[in-house]
Chains A and B, each alone.
Chain A
Amino acid sequence: MKERIIDVEVIDLVKRYKELVAVDHLSLSIEQGEIFGLLGPNGSGKTTLINCMLALLSYDQGEVKIFAKPMTPKSYDVKQQIGLVPQEISVYEELTVYDNIDYFCGLYVEDKEERRQRVEEVIDFVQLDSFRKFHPRKLSGGLKRRLNLACGIAHRPRLIFLDEPTVAVDPQSRNRILEGIKYLRDQGSTIVYTTHYMEEVEYLCDRLAILDHGKILVSGTNEEIISMSSISESIEIVVYDLPESIIDELRNNPSVDSLTYQSGTLSMAMKQGDSNLLSVLHLLTEEGLEPVSVSGKNPTLNDVFLEITGKELRDNA
């Protein structure tokens, strides 16, 4: 059996800003080689948690270990193996694409020849070769994001913190970034990823934690988290002239969590159980009603997030 190696360990972390508890007795561990997603609305404590992990912020209680060593502002041997891709595009407008990457890579790699190779590799990786002599002000939003990513990963870090790297990015650049992140994971890097896009988390993350008010509400794999939901599936049936008696009967069905009927569309969230759709269709056909269309979908992370926090993630983020 493969041995589990923990790259990041946060133990009972507490961070207060005067009266406000930004991180509240939070513990988590991130395994080597996984993409770990951090989800939460604004003010949930995601950024504070990352800043504490990176020793950018002091904290009131708890412990942060990276690569099994305590993380402090002077843990240079640990920092040597970390890369950060901040949410804000943190590059120098005065430097060219090449110089920006070379500058940040040079903080980690002193040997010029080795650095040159890594810079070339990462330029190729983020497909900025045609723009190497451009200044960032001349790049589109998507290209700037790719440059921001390149500056954080050129030194081939073992652990990469990606803070919303795809905000305001065109679909083409987003796909490239997401594929790139998967590639980095496949190359052995551990990735801590924050985003507001549920589909990105579902696509990318091996495990994730949902934060609110500085606490982890749930954590686990996508499947584990979705299975925690009380909703099994959402059903939408287009059927006209549905009698009030049928609607009442469906509403009283123990497997129906909630129901609406508007403009001929019956929408139902079903509780956990088998054959929800079949039992509904059976009831309708018995009454002589013929559905125009039927669709069903499994609950998403967004549904779970909504259920747990009572907030739409994207709207509140």
Chain B
Amino acid sequence: MLRHLIKYNFKTYIGNRLNLFWNFLFPFAYMIIFFMALFSLSDGSSGLDTIRLAVVPVHENESAESKTEALKSFFEFDGHEGIWDGEALEHPAGTEKTLLLYTESNETESLKWLENETIDAMILVDDEISFKVKPGSSLTPTVLHEILASFERVNKTQTSITSGYQEGRFTPPSASDTEQLEANRFIGIDKSNRRTAIYSQFIYFFAALAYITYFPLNTGVEVIESIEPAQSDQALRKYVGPVSKTKHFFGALIPRWVAHLLLIVLLFAFTQLLNIDYGTDYPRIILLLFFGTSSAIFTGTALGALLPGKQGPKVALSISIPLLFALASGMMASPLHSLIMEKIPWLHNWNPLGMISNGLYALYSGGNLERYYQQLFGLGIFNLVCFALTMLGVRRSRYESI
């Protein structure tokens, strides 16, 4: 009987054009769009236009000079100091593309360049860093804001560590510790083929993959819709038959679940085709994605089983919940991730999308397996709770408002 149910549930699921579009095609489209928004598909360089900058120390003192030098060093990760070719600031290697081309100058001259659009922005280095952009720049301020925010975080950490050593609060690691740290630094990371930028795009890509992993929430809602007499006419007809609701539940769940486990593997393979770097620990990544997709489906089944009535509000919830979780895990704005961690720790701890994202990050950033398994364990608990809630709802025997 279960085989019969699985066969036809699979047929109905993949035969539904809306399902095909939203559950199977949309995630691929989403990854392509997301990828194109941050990287170029055609070559190995950044897809953003080069930003030409003037770095302007506001005061002539040691502190300003030191910060200016630190900023210039930071820019070297994805930029170069430009050379003047007549009136134009150009890459020293000629045609090579880069995200940032900078030069150091004073405020008056930089303002002049900005006015005649020789440069795109000027960065004023003071105690706080600020910048001015040429009129009409839409993307430049956003990119600069992200880069400078990253720099400030790195700079503050570095300053804090330096002062820690100077004040004797920290002691340097021993030679053997240093050796060990260096050896462990890139475990599981292929340094030679790294295409992702060093900035906060990382968190966007982890959250993006987590989002499509946690996307099929509505599939879970649909599983319940297909077996609850109060939710669909077909279910009412089925329930008159001699097959238990539990059997119908598994008959509806298994094909959808398996389809989405396969889909997430395909989606991950697709991200690798796009050359998005999630590290090389593929078995653990896939395991994490399996747990993540399962959590989406079980969230959906719990929603479907516990909320009475027809589909409208549940469809709205199954769209908005992943978006809310994605927002909380930093997919739309990376600072939100830290903010949620600090202000709403329970949401951070129990956000399944955040757990997937953190698990991916743990694997990526040096194979921190303890942290990875914490996320996996958290997702496991989340799945169990959702499954228990689903069973609680499904096993009810009262069907009012049919």
Please report A residues at the B interface, Cβ cutoff 8 Å.
Answer: 17, 47, 51, 54, 56-58, 73-74, 76-77, 79-80, 82-84, 86, 88-95, 99, 103-104, 106-108, 110, 151-152, 161
Bound form: Cα–Cα A151–B234 in Å = 11
Which of B242-257 touch A at CB < 8 Å?
242-244
- 9-residue interface stretch from B4-12, B37-45, B303-311: B4-12
Q: Is B191 an interface residue (CB 8 A)?
A: no
Also in contact, A86 and B12, with CB within 8 A (given A57-B402, A76-B244): no
For the complex, give the distance between the alpha carbons of A51 and B400 in Å: 10
Q: Measured between alpha carbons, how far is A89 from B243 in the docked complex, in Å?
A: 21
A93 to B13, CA, bound (A): 11
* A-B pairs with lowest CB-CB distance, top 5: A94-B15, A90-B233, A107-B241, A76-B242, A79-B242
Contact of B15 among A47, A95, A106, A107 (CB under 8 A): A95
Tell me which of A79, A89, A94, A110 contacts B4 (CB under 8 A): A110
Report the bound CA distance from A58 to B399 in whole Å. 7
Tell me which of B1, B8, B244, B402 contacts A56 (CB under 8 A). B402
- Complex CA distance for A90 and B240, rounded to whole angstroms: 12
Is the beta-carbon distance between B399 and A57 smaller than 8 angstroms?
Answer: yes
| B205-244 near A? 1/0 per residue, CB < 8 Å | 0000000000000000000000001000110111111111
Q: Which residues of A contact B15 (CB under 8 A)?
A: 92, 94-95
- Known A54-B240, A79-B240, A108-B242; contact A103-B400, beta-carbon cutoff 8 A: no
Chain A residues near B4: list those with CB within 8 A: 103, 106-107, 110
- Of A74, A76, A106, A152, the contact of B237 (CB 8 Å cutoff): A152
Query: A82 to B240, Cβ gap below 8 A?
Result: yes
Q: Using an 8 Å CB-CB cutoff, how does the interface string of B1-40 with A read, 1 for contact, 0 for none? A: 1001000100111011000000000000000000000000
Expressed in whole angstroms, the minimum distance between the Cβ of B244 and any Cβ of chain A is 7
Q: Contacts A88-B233, A108-B241 given: A73-B11 contact, CB under 8 Å?
A: no
List the B side residues contacting A54 at CB < 8 Å. Answer: 240
Nearest-neighbor residue (CB-CB) of A58 within chain B:
B398
A104, B236: Cα distance in complex, Å: 12
On whether the beta carbons of A104 and B237 are closer than 8 Å, the reply is yes
A58-B398, A95-B12 given; 13 more Cβ-contact pairs under 8 Å: A57-B399, A79-B241, A86-B233, A89-B233, A90-B233, A92-B12, A94-B13, A95-B15, A103-B8, A106-B4, A106-B8, A107-B4, A110-B4
Query: Do A90 and B237 touch across chains, with their CB atoms under 8 A apart?
Result: yes
Q: A56-B399, A106-B4, A110-B1 are in contact. Are A92 and B244 (CB under 8 A)?
A: no
Q: How many residues of B contact A (CB 8 A)?
A: 25
CB-CB < 8 A to A93: which residues of B? 16
> In the complex, which residues of chain B have a beta carbon less than 8 angstroms from the beta carbon of A103?
4, 8
CB-CB nearest in chain B for A76: B242
Find A90's partner among B1, B11, B236, B398 (CB 8 Å cutoff): B236
Residues of A within 8 A of B166 (CB): none
Contacts of B229 in A (CB 8 A): 56
A99: which B residues are within 8 A, CB to CB? 8, 11
Q: How far is the CB of A103 from chain B (nearest CB, A)?
A: 4
Please give the distance in Å from B82's CB to the nearest CB on chain A.
60
Closest chain A residue, CB of each to CB of B234 = A90
Q: A56-B229, A94-B16 known; A107 and B238 CB under 8 Å?
A: yes
Chain A residues closer than 8 Å to B242, beta-carbon distance: 76-77, 79-80, 107-108
Q: A83: nearest residue on chain B (CB-CB)?
A: B240
What is the minimal beta-carbon distance from A189 to any residue of chain B, in angstroms? 15
B19: nearest chain-A partner, CB-CB: A94
Q: CA separation between A86 and B402, bound complex, in Å?
A: 12
A114 to chain B, nearest CB (A): 13
A–B Cβ pairs within 8 angstroms, 25 of them: A56-B239, A56-B399, A57-B398, A57-B400, A58-B399, A76-B243, A82-B240, A83-B240, A84-B240, A88-B233, A90-B234, A90-B237, A93-B16, A94-B13, A94-B16, A95-B8, A103-B8, A104-B238, A106-B8, A107-B1, A107-B241, A107-B242, A108-B241, A108-B242, A161-B240
